[in-house]
Amino acid sequence: MTDNAVPTLVQTEWLASQLDNPSVRIVDATWMLPNAARKGIEDFSAGHIPGAVFWDIDAIADPASSLPHMMPDEATFERHMNSLGISNDHHVVVYDSVSMMTSARVWWALRAFGHDRVSLLDGGAVKWRAEGRALSADAAEIGDTSFKAGFNPAMVRSLDDVRANLDTGAAQVLDARSAGRFAAAEPEPRPECRSGHIPGSLNLPFNTLIDPATSTIRPAAELSASLAKAGIDCARPVVTTCGSGITACVLALAMHLTGKDDVAIYDGSWTEWGSRTDTPVAT
């Protein structure tokens, strides 16, 4: 790795050798679905990678929005980064305890605000714990920082953008939810949401891109094959969606690892689309 670039994925062996490196800031991004029996902060408090800080996905969000964890403005994001001790010079390494379900959201958010020095821990805390590596319940030391954000609007799509796309078909819409939720055969975890999917969208459940034996993301060749099987033409624009804009970022990560870097996220995702009465739903 160079001073100006970091790998998208780092391995547990490498991170274990960097725990005392002040230029590396480790971030725990564990988040649970609303119907889960526990919260991410509970996992973090019980034991996390030494030196890690907790990124609260629900808190680092737009405080004015009624939708969950929508992207904040630059000033709000900067304030949160400074509270976590993250500077523009840090190499940020993100992990989670839920088989890489949520860490990609933080990877994507940092990049959307102009911070490209961010990597994902391949396998996350699941692999780290399986290898018997050190855990800590101690709070990390957080120094003074002055993070400067520069938001890239091309990485985010709004309700109006996705609604307009119904007519133009300019972008392919790829849904990361389970096949059952996509087809309205399973209930939504948020009862206010209707069941089904955005008309014309395609489906690629995010968890099929993760190796269940190791919790690591699958090799690029397998990711490409999964995208093609889902009907995605990587030469065309893609907007990813999910329940609330979190696992959509796993799809964006998969495409990034195959060389496609122009993917946008529908931030409101199904929580916004499925809870309205003026948006069409297919089943």
- The secondary structure of residue 32, as a DSSP letter, is -
**57-93 core/surface letters (b: 16 or more CB in 10 A; e: else):** beebbbeeeebbbbbbeeebbbebbbebbbbeebbbb
| CB-CB neighbours of 248 under 10 Å | 29
Count CA atoms closer than 13 A to 282's CA, side-chain side: 10
Given 193, 234, 242, 249, the catalytic residue? 242
Tell me, yes or no, if 242 is annotated catalytic.
Answer: yes
Q: Note whether 211 and 62 are within 8 A (CB).
A: no
User: Residue holding tokens 């860490």?
Assistant: 103
Angle at 100 between CA 35 and CA 201, to 5 degrees: 75
The sign of the dihedral angle between the CA atoms of 159, 69, 173, 196 is negative
DSSP lists the bridge partners of residue 282 as 197
Nearest CA among 30, 76, 75 for reference residue 54: 30
Active-site residues, by number, are 242
